[in-house]
């Protein structure tokens, strides 16, 4: 998603009209991203280079699938939080990109939960739903194993089992 945030603002991103995004987006950050949006003609050479790099990233998306198929653990992480990288929503987009790269929805969800916890050496405390582990999870309106985009259809979240 770091690469996405370097080239996506050459036009108005589609998620700027997504009700889920708008519900949770920080208004100041959103206004800043909107006001700094630039057309393709106004981009500097450096920005054009970033845009090309982003497009190259998309063409290499299958690398995640190849690595996963070879047994390399894929742990979802984040570079979101800085301006124009909308924390929370970009992670949902990352899940979709992982599926587009060829990972199954089950592999994508394991990457964001179990495998990320293992990577951080926190899998004894979180990452899977088991007795004596933290139980943060969301209740969804639709099955993410049928379509990973269903992660955007949450009803409510539970933190620490509450």
What pLDDT score was predicted for residue 44?
55
Residue 6: pLDDT over 70:
no
The predicted-structure confidence for 53-90, as pLDDT tens digits, reads as follows 555 555 566 788 889 889 999 999 877 667 777 888 88
CA 100 – CA 97 distance, rounded (Å): 5
Read off the pLDDT of each residue in 145-151 and give the average, rounded to a whole number: 95
The predicted-structure confidence for 36-46, as pLDDT tens digits, reads as follows 654 443 455 55
CA 8 – CA 160 distance, rounded (Å): 35
The predicted-structure confidence for 102-123, as pLDDT tens digits, reads as follows 999 999 999 999 999 999 999 9
The DSSP 8-state label assigned to residue 16 in this structure reads G
What pLDDT score was predicted for residue 41?
38
What pLDDT score was predicted for residue 117?
95
What pLDDT score was predicted for residue 38?
44
Read off the pLDDT of each residue in 148-156 and give the average, rounded to a whole number: 86
Buried b (16+ CB within 10 A) or exposed e, 118-132: bbeeebeebbeeeee
What pLDDT score was predicted for residue 113?
93
Q: 3-state SS of 56-112?
A: HHHHCCCHHHHHHHCCCCCCCCCCCCCCCCCCCHHHHHHHHHHHHCCCCHHHHHHHH
Percent of the chain as helix, strand, coil, to the nearest 5: 50, 5, 40
Mean pLDDT of the chain: 80
């Amino acid at each position: 998603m770091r690469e996405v945030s370097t080239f996506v603002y050459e036009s108005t991103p589609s998620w700027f009209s997504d009700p889920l995004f708008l519900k949770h987006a920080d208004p100041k950050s959103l206004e800043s991203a909107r006001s700094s949006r630039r057309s393709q003609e106004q981009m500097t050479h450096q920005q054009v280079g970033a845009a090309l790099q982003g497009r190259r990233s998309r063409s290499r998306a299958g690398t995640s699938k190849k690595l996963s198929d070879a047994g390399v653990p894929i742990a979802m992480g984040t570079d979101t939080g800085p301006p124009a990288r909308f924390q929370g929503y970009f992670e949902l987009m990352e899940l979709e990109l992982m599926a587009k790269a060829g990972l199954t929805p089950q592999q994508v969800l394991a990457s964001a939960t179990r495998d990320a916890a293992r990577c951080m050496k926190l899998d004894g405390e979180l990452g899977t739903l088991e007795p004596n582990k933290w139980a943060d999870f969301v209740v969804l309106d639709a099955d993410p194993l049928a379509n990973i985009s269903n992660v955007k259809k949450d009803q409510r979240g539970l933190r620490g089992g509450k």
